[in-house]
Structure 1
Amino acid sequence: MCKPKTEIFQIKTMLSIALVSFLLLHLTVALKPDSFLLSCGAQSGTTDESDGRQWYTDTHDPSLLPSNFSSISSTATAFDTSVTRVPYTSARIFQSPFTYTLPVSPGTKFLRLYFYPSSYLGITKSQSFFSVTANHITLLSNFSAFDATTNSSKAIRKEFVINVNGTKTLKITFSPSPNSYAFVNGIEILPIPTNLYFRGGDHAIKWVGQRNLYYIYNSTALETLYRLNVGGNLVASTGDTGIYRVWAADDKFVVGYDNQTPQFDVNVTYTDEIPAYTAPNIVYTTARELANNSRSLDWKFPLDSGFYYLFRLHFCEIELEMKRLNYRVFNIYIGNQTAEEQVDVIAWTGGWGIPMYRDYVVYVRDKDVQLRKENVWLELQPNMEARAVYDNVILNALEIFKLSDPNGNLAVPYPELRFEGPIPDKKKKRISWHIIVAIIAGVTSAIAVFSILGFLISRRRQNGGRGSGTSVPKSSSLPSDLCRHFLIAEIKNATDNFDEKFVIGYGGFGNVYKGYLDNGTITVAVKRSNPSSNQGVREFQTEIEMLSSKLRHRHLVSLVGYCDDENELILVYDYMANGTLRDHLYNTENTPLPWKKRLDICIGAAKGLYYLHSGTKHTIIHRDVKSTNILLDDKWIAKVSDFGLSKVGSVGGTDTTHVSTAVKGSFGYVDAEYYKRQLLTVKSDVYSFGVVLFEALCGRPAINPNLPSGQVNLAEWACRSCKNRELEEIIDPNLKGQIAPECLRKFAELAYHCLRKEGVQRPSMGDVVKTLEFALQVQEGADNRGHEVEGSSFPLISNGDAMNEDEIFSDLSEVERKLTSNGMSMSVSRSAKVNNVSLFSEIVNPLGR
């Protein structure tokens, strides 16, 4: 049936109006009077062949330049064919501070600076260091365009977001570093909607890891660090919404598992809250998801420490089946902290094909005196507790901005200051500079001499004593390249002078306090040594050496720093909000952990131990694996802790590699082979971890002297129950109905084999990780199809695989019985006068150290 002509005319008219409105929107954004495209040093204006925009020489309007300016215009002597010639061919070079004064209307602007490092007029790379300011904002400091290039890009485009208030001018100043020069190839000023990044005023944003909101004021400046089309290809500036942003591919930042990158032909429905200029359509129609069997989606970004950052995550459900609530629910983590839980994009947007974004602010702490890069992780992980239809995640795009500090600074000196030679024909400055260098060298030497003398006198006064001839190690002998050296005043300030109300734990090492550093922006755990503790200087130094220079892993606790000031021995760690694994298994008021969370925690801890055994140059044996040394952060990620008793083995050590050493560890976790032969191997850790697995399954401690004799030792009792097919009787009652029989079998078999008599018969930690991950897959598969709960007996251990548990546990049990029968505690020192106890130089109770 044909439509009437009047109706067709109306439709055409509406389409014409819409098209005109669309073009006007783009033109008003891109062609405002205070837009500037300056090709610096060029002889005349020219057109950028990549986007068709007209660039003007920076001398076309004399009012933009200083009245008596001194600069040099030059052309690059060598040019990469992959770089567009405009605006990178020509450059303006400055040997003294030079200011462009640009008349602009109040409002938010993109300021883009273009650099192409080349040999201009014979001036070399070593002479190119400079700073850049825009009004009161420091954009770059001691910047080198040569050092900032990457393998993928020879040209550099620096983008900043700046608010211009009532001044109606934007002054951009280039200042060469001493004995150096500055240059710029292009300057772009482009007005953008004020509410694009500031939402029209003071902007309160979720502050990751803190209860308070973070406020971004209009006086704040932003530097664009990453703008990514997640799961898609690069989107050139012409593909953006009239404000010429570049959306790069995210491939080089994705880490971990393979994942899917779906793309759909979707008509994105923009809203008043998310207008079309927020991000282009093509960005929202691509995404990255989990592939089969993946647990999380992770990216890693190097960021300058000591600054706040704005993370903007863009979402849009583009798959037809994702049209209902609770079809896809996931959590967001930034910098190992929870940013958002139970994200349901449909719930946020109200429907399919509707875009939205969420903003988060995260602080990257400065771990050392010298600022440097820190890797910050972004992780999306399915929320298993939501019981969503699909265990998956989605992210369409990502923007990351650095926020200026209260002093209006965005800059970190790019390299350390370098003065490798004078600019040609600057003889007078060269002579004076050598004089200055000589003076500085003399003063520095004098300061160094007096500092050393003062240090030695101070140490002599302190006498270095810590009882029985043991002294605090000098800080100069401890590694500080990857951890922070605190003064005792800083620690006291962080813990309110070690106030008892801040105590969050006790152990063999001493009290553990919750502390707040850097004006409360960083929460830490402060472990202070008790002077009467047997665990002293040696363990203190081992812990620092291990965690500061050798061990960095997602599932190992991070050492923030240490303090050996005024004879104190203090270790400072990342704060683990959820305490220890033991805190959530038994003898606690905490809600019992569900089975899948216990399983996930065991997987994380196993990965941490596997890294110790196989992921470092030298094999590292932990030697004190127990549930109190498995810590849980705010998103329940397991992290192995306490490396004071650790031993370093050979390079590329095997399962049979051993270290002859006195026995150390904790009752209930030390295996008989290590006890009898005093030969420590990685399989000693495997045994201890097997005990932890049974702790997680049974919800009881490794040693409980209040139980009948056959049940005191968890490992002995659990293995006997496995052999007698009585496993169901020892499972934690809180797990009733949660464990699929096939998952229970696989988990218990693994724990049983970890406790084999001989180390060579135990699995490696790599095999432990694989088996636990398989058990989790089995559990999830059973959950999806609706399994019957455990409760029926089934053969767990074949007759040919049975162990003689009496033979395994007789030696350790004998020691424990002798200790308890003599009324002694489970803590044994070198001076213990009990038969066989002399073999144990430091067998302690299972409390955390």
Structure 2
Amino acid sequence: MEKVKWGPLILAVILLGFIGHGSYASFTPVDNYLIACGSSKNLTFQGRTFVPDSVQSSIVLKSQANSVTAVSSSTALPPIYQSARIFSGIASYKFEIEQEGRHWVRLYFYPISNSSHDLTSASITVVTDSFVLLNNFTFKNYNGSYLFKEYAINVTSDTLTLTFIPSNNSVAFVNAIEVVSVPNEIFPDQALALSPSAPFSGLSELALETVYRLNMGGPLLTAQNDTLGRTWENDEKYLHVNSSAKNLSVNPGNIKYITAVTTETAPNLVYSTAESMGNANVSNGNFNITWVFSVDPDFMYFVRVHFCDILSTSLNNLVFNLFINSDIALESLDLSSLAGDLNVPYYKDFISNSSADSDVLTVSVGPDTMADVTNAIMNGLEIMRISNGAKSLDGLSSVESLLPQPPTKRNMIGIIIGCVVGASVAVVFIILCICCFVARRSKTPTQGHPWLPLPLYGNSQTMTKMSTTSQKSGTASCISLASTNLGRLFMFQEIMDATNKFDESLLLGVGGFGRVYKGTLEDGTKVAVKRGNPRSEQGLAEFRTEIEMLSKLRHRHLVSLIGYCDERSEMILVYEYMANGPLRSHLYGTDLPSLSWKQRLEICIGAARGLHYLHTGAAQSIIHRDVKTTNILLDENFVAKVADFGLSKTGPALDQTHVSTAVKGSFGY
């Protein structure tokens, strides 16, 4: 890996740690326990003060046996590891929680050598009220000198209990504990799962453990440089090929935070450094920068990737791809287009497993061969283990199996009442289902062409044949898909919320298939929502072709399909929103400002690139058949994208001499 001079950057880190600490103090945690276990005095570590566990009034220490303390006389040890509390029986710390929600739980372990116990042989298990954090850990099987563990636990009550369980007739110990509030917006409830690609919900009910947190191309950052007390290590030792990456850095003051990304997301010292391709503008499209990580294949992982375009000198030049294992996580990522400007941070969350049947997880970035600049960057990376079905982050044992609790009389009464109520509800539900089934069977079929829901199974990229009979036959049109590559599956209520119940003021256009509305998703993403008219035979045919084409096509100059909704017999497609609308509205018929000649030329080139990809880049060439100014859309940066594939046809095979070019189409989005 090519080196940069880190001297000025390290000096900036040091100065920010001392004189700039106030700028990092925008977040003040409601719960902020920094506990030095076994210590008799306050300790300062990484700019923060830890207090002895014996004097903290908001925590309660309970132990089945007497606990003892151990203190090291070695001044070479960091202060946080110079004392410990040792338990010969089950013991717990109970913390009063003022604000429910995610909390950092950080544990520090070091086997002090001059204690009366052999702490190197200690076997330690640590659990919370609901989750197993550590199970039978011992320094005998550990290569490092210190053990630091960081967890993100969602606390849903007014207390949090950490229980330490000695195993194998040994003792348990801990040197220091942190329990600190985390801003609610830091961890989402939903992220995009890969292989297969689908939304993953319910993260707020799971525990997370930090496994890796990297500052790409930059030095080590500690709690002094992070408002949430996190540590970011340099990425060099995880690079698959050192020479594949080159360090980049800018003045941290150049980083421009927006509403969606704050210093709590990651400090500007992360976004102001990056790794870029060591050999930019290479002709080999398979050239990637790859980082390799050892993981436990029995767990899923939360992966957060941080980007900030500190490389480009103008907008829309840097376009690249992100891969996690063999899955393409982000395709044709245009950072400046998503962020709105250069030097603006952006991040994306994913859920991934390790590579197939291995203990390795890889993250790669590589160039988009269609981009003007052949390069790729990454600024930061976080990988966190997700608790499994046993609510454990270490093994398959549950809290109940490690801390058996005999049921009380009150619990038994509750169980009996719960069973009776549950059985009653189940009976009522079954009766309602039978009634609904009978009622539906008794209804006469309605006129028109209702749609069947889209059954999506498997991971095939092939769409089965669609049969559409005419209205004369009285048979409903039937659509069957076998693909999970249509993107996100939206609930109908989400579509209603996004479009304000299909508010006519949000109407963008009307076509043969139906109406198109502007929508806004929960995360603020602007989208175009195409809602079909089930009585339009022409619309059904266009809808079929639209899916057949878009399920196979991805290109910077083609409008992308985000997802769909098939709930309540609806057929709704959700596309990326093109803020500047059709090219036609910028040429005539409106009061919009005229396009410059440079803009016109770039729009022509962009549309031509999209059409060229249709003709030559797809597995089988595609003839659009409806190219006009209303079907060339412009995004917020006036990047042209070809749209409306409802009248497209696949190109001729070798034994064909002709493709129908009959005039088709209608005005609309």
What TM-score do the two structures reach when normalised by structure 1?
0.42
- The residue aligned with 2:179 is 189
1:361 aligns with 2:356: no
Q: Distance in 1 between matches of 2:251 and 2:153?
A: 35
1:227 aligns with 2:216: no
Structure 2 residue runs of 5 or longer lacking an equivalent are 1-19, 398-456, 465-481, 485-550, 554-614, 618-669
- The residue aligned with 1:284 is 271
Pick from 282, 286, 297: which aligns with 1:305? 297
CA gap of 1:260–1:113, structure 2 versus 1, over 3 A, is same
- The residue aligned with 1:74 is 70
Does the 8 Å contact 1:309/1:401 carry over to 2? yes
CA gap of 1:287–1:124, structure 2 versus 1, over 3 A, is same
1:36 aligns with 2:33: yes
- The residue aligned with 2:228 is 243
Q: Distance in 2 between matches of 1:188 and 1:39?
A: 9
- The residue aligned with 1:314 is 306
Displacement after TM superposition at 1:68 (Å): 6.4
- The residue aligned with 1:707 is none
Q: Please identify, of 291-300 and 387-396, the stretch whose mean Cα deviation from structure 2 is larger.
A: 291-300
Displacement after TM superposition at 1:196 (Å): 0.6
Pick from 114, 119, 130: which aligns with 2:113? 119
Displacement after TM superposition at 1:45 (Å): 2.4
- The residue aligned with 1:58 is 53
Q: Distance in 1 between matches of 2:143 and 2:50?
A: 24
CA gap of 1:156–1:591, structure 2 versus 1, over 3 A, is closer
Does the 8 Å contact 1:328/1:389 carry over to 2? yes
Pick from 339, 347, 366: which aligns with 2:337? 347
Q: Please identify, of 297-306 and 120-129, the stretch whose mean Cα deviation from structure 2 is larger.
A: 120-129
1:158 aligns with 2:144: no
The C-alpha deviation readout for 1:527-547, integer Å capped at 9, x for no partner, is xxxxxxxxxxxxxxxxxxxxx
- The residue aligned with 1:104 is 97
Q: Secondary structure at the match of 1:392?
A: coil
Displacement after TM superposition at 1:58 (Å): 0.7
CA gap of 1:337–1:355, structure 2 versus 1, over 3 A, is same
The C-alpha deviation readout for 1:737-773, integer Å capped at 9, x for no partner, is xxxxxxxxxxxxxxxxxxxxxxxxxxxxxxxxxxxxx
Pick from 71, 82, 85: which aligns with 1:89? 82
Displacement after TM superposition at 1:126 (Å): 5.9
Q: Distance in 2 between matches of 1:400 and 1:591?
A: 31
Does the 8 Å contact 1:142/1:413 carry over to 2? no
Displacement after TM superposition at 1:412 (Å): 3.3
CA gap of 1:146–1:413, structure 2 versus 1, over 3 A, is farther
Higher strand residue share: 2
Displacement after TM superposition at 1:319 (Å): 2.6
- The residue aligned with 1:46 is 43
| Matched residue type, 1:351 | D
The C-alpha deviation readout for 1:465-484, integer Å capped at 9, x for no partner, is xxxxxxxxxxxxxxxxxxxx
| Matched residue type, 1:136 | S
Q: Distance in 2 between matches of 1:80 and 1:314?
A: 38
| Matched residue type, 2:391 | G
Does the 8 Å contact 2:194/2:329 carry over to 1? yes
| Matched residue type, 1:235 | L
Does the 8 Å contact 2:149/2:210 carry over to 1? yes
Q: Distance in 2 between matches of 1:346 and 1:382?
A: 15
| Matched residue type, 2:359 | E
Q: Distance in 2 between matches of 1:231 and 1:353?
A: 16
Does the 8 Å contact 2:248/2:276 carry over to 1? yes
The C-alpha deviation readout for 1:96-148, integer Å capped at 9, x for no partner, is 11110111121211110011133253533662111101111100111124534
CA gap of 1:320–1:377, structure 2 versus 1, over 3 A, is closer
Displacement after TM superposition at 1:188 (Å): 0.7
| Matched residue type, 2:55 | H
Structure 1 residue runs of 5 or longer lacking an equivalent are 1-20, 368-372, 415-493, 496-500, 503-513, 517-589, 593-733, 737-849
Q: Distance in 1 between matches of 2:220 and 2:107?
A: 20
- The residue aligned with 2:360 is 375
Displacement after TM superposition at 1:352 (Å): 0.5
| Matched residue type, 1:401 | M
Does the 8 Å contact 2:307/2:380 carry over to 1? yes
CA gap of 1:331–1:735, structure 2 versus 1, over 3 A, is closer
- The residue aligned with 2:401 is none
Does the 8 Å contact 1:304/1:364 carry over to 2? yes
Displacement after TM superposition at 1:391 (Å): 0.8
Q: Secondary structure at the match of 1:195?
A: helix
Between the aligned residues of both structures, percent identity stands at: 28
Does the 8 Å contact 1:314/1:356 carry over to 2? yes
Q: Secondary structure at the match of 2:273?
A: coil
| Matched residue type, 2:337 | A
Q: Distance in 2 between matches of 1:211 and 1:67?
A: 47
- The residue aligned with 1:264 is 250
Pick from 390, 398, 401: which aligns with 1:407? 390
Q: Secondary structure at the match of 1:304?
A: coil
Does the 8 Å contact 1:70/1:94 carry over to 2? yes
- The residue aligned with 1:328 is 318
The C-alpha deviation readout for 1:301-355, integer Å capped at 9, x for no partner, is 001111110110000111342x222x12211111222212111111211110110
Displacement after TM superposition at 1:297 (Å): 0.4
Displacement after TM superposition at 1:25 (Å): 7.7
Q: Distance in 1 between matches of 2:373 and 2:203?
A: 39
- The residue aligned with 1:296 is 288
Does the 8 Å contact 1:117/1:146 carry over to 2? no
Give matches, 1:676-695, under 5 Å: none
- The residue aligned with 1:254 is 239
Q: Distance in 1 between matches of 2:191 and 2:108?
A: 31
- Larger RCO: Structure 1 or Structure 2 (Cα < 8 Å, ≥ 6 residues apart)? 2
Q: Secondary structure at the match of 1:283?
A: helix
Q: CA RMSD in A?
A: 3.4
Q: Distance in 1 between matches of 2:348 and 2:55?
A: 43
Q: Distance in 2 between matches of 1:22 and 1:68?
A: 42
What TM-score do the two structures reach when normalised by structure 2?
0.53
CA gap of 1:346–1:244, structure 2 versus 1, over 3 A, is same
Q: Distance in 1 between matches of 2:365 and 2:27?
A: 38
Give matches, 1:537-552, under 5 Å: none
Does the 8 Å contact 2:321/2:365 carry over to 1? yes
- The residue aligned with 2:136 is 142
CA gap of 1:365–1:170, structure 2 versus 1, over 3 A, is farther
Displacement after TM superposition at 1:215 (Å): 1.3
Does the 8 Å contact 2:121/2:139 carry over to 1? no
Q: Secondary structure at the match of 1:218?
A: helix
| Matched residue type, 1:355 | P
CA gap of 1:67–1:129, structure 2 versus 1, over 3 A, is closer
CA gap of 1:376–1:100, structure 2 versus 1, over 3 A, is same
Q: Which protein shows a greater Rg?
A: 1
Alignment coverage as a number of residue pairs: 384
The C-alpha deviation readout for 1:444-470, integer Å capped at 9, x for no partner, is xxxxxxxxxxxxxxxxxxxxxxxxxxx
Higher helix residue share: 1
Give matches, 1:361-510, under 5 Å: 361-364=351-354, 367=357, 374-384=359-369, 387-412=370-395
Does the 8 Å contact 2:36/2:53 carry over to 1? yes
Q: Distance in 1 between matches of 2:27 and 2:264?
A: 12
Q: Distance in 2 between matches of 1:211 and 1:239?
A: 35
Q: Secondary structure at the match of 1:99?
A: strand
CA gap of 1:80–1:69, structure 2 versus 1, over 3 A, is same
Q: Distance in 1 between matches of 2:191 and 2:63?
A: 44
CA gap of 1:204–1:47, structure 2 versus 1, over 3 A, is closer
